[in-house]
Amino acid sequence: MFCLQNVSEHCSLFAPLCLGSKGWRQPGPPRTFPHLLYDASLAYHSSAILAKALDTITLRYRCRESSASGLAELCDELSRHGRRAAAASLGLPFAMKPDGFLLDTLETWQGPFPKKQEEYTLKSNQAYTCTSIKDMLSLFLSCCSYATLSHVTVANSACRVTAPFPQIFSDYVSIDGSTSDTKRFENTSVYSVPAIAGLHSSSSVGTMLESLHFQSNRLHFKKFHHFGSAGLEEDEYTECLDQLLQLRECYYEEFDV
């Protein structure tokens, strides 16, 4: 928590990454990816998933054809009103049937982005007028969260997952990353997968910070002698807790990015 507060003071934006379902004090059960069979105790597996999240999130700023000016633009868009903390999401692979359509897939998709806030059927609206994947995803995000600022970047090729990336995919993931009702052939590996990821500034980040403050406030400082030996005073720890609450207050306003 002390390090987290320091990060918020010395950087424009940060996003904690963890494959644990809780993260504070105890990481909790590993996060579930419906089409991945990974061992959370192996750093080789967990680091590969987190690396693929970073690889996808930063795609906009690494593509030659992208019009983005740089990471400073990203930080400025997400850290408005003092929101220095962001949340990251990843769908790996983005599950589509070999003969499926993006529109039908989005209609039944279960995450990782927020659920649609109201009953909305893409088919009955302007979905069929979309001329590109980018247009379709932009429309989908506008349906998930009304009046939310969003930016979509689409790559023409899927993520490469050949060695040294671990083969942690379900037997029902085809070699091209599509999902099937039948197992792929034995002794065949997945060589590419579609992925979807994002950075988000929303009220859920405030909930995360509030949880961190609650768990940190439960600790009895004097029982942890290594805090003092590391040079951390109790007054400094209390000040960090107060600053964490101040950061949390930045997320009370109802707007998402």
**193 or 251, greater pLDDT:** 193
Which of 121-135, 187-201, 214-228 is predicted least confidently?
A: 121-135
Average pLDDT over residues 125-137: 80
Contact 172, 225 (CB under 8 A): no
User: Any idea which residue has 């004097």 for tokens?
Assistant: 222
User: Any idea which residue has 């998933």 for tokens?
Assistant: 49
Residue 150 token pair: 């969003």
Which is it for strands 192-193 and 87-91: parallel, antiparallel or unpaired? unpaired
pLDDT digits (tens, 9 = 90+) for 162-195: 889 999 999 999 999 999 999 999 889 999 999 9
Which of 60-64, 202-206, 248-252 is predicted least confidently?
A: 60-64
Residue 115 token pair: 């659920």
Portion of the chain with pLDDT greater than 70, in percent: 85
Residue 115 banded pLDDT, cuts 50, 70, 90? very low
DSSP three-state, residue 191: coil
Q: Quick one: which of 5, 4, 44, 9 has its CA closest to 19?
A: 44
Contact 122, 140 (CB under 8 A): yes
Residue 118 banded pLDDT, cuts 50, 70, 90? very low
Q: Where are the domains of the chain?
A: 2-96+159-249
From residue 105, give the alpha-carbon distance in Å to each of 116, 131, 154, 228: 14, 17, 16, 54
pTM, entire model: 0.83
CA 248 to chain CA mean position, Å: 19
Contact 155, 52 (CB under 8 A): no
Mean pLDDT (the chain, rounded): 83
Q: Where are the beta strands (DSSP E) in 154-251?
A: 159-160, 192-193, 196-200
pLDDT value at residue 117: 47
Q: Please say if the pLDDT value at position 41 is more than 80.
A: yes
Q: Please say if the pLDDT value at position 116 is more than 50.
A: no
Residue 250 banded pLDDT, cuts 50, 70, 90? confident
Q: How far apart are CA 142 and CA 120, in angstroms?
A: 11
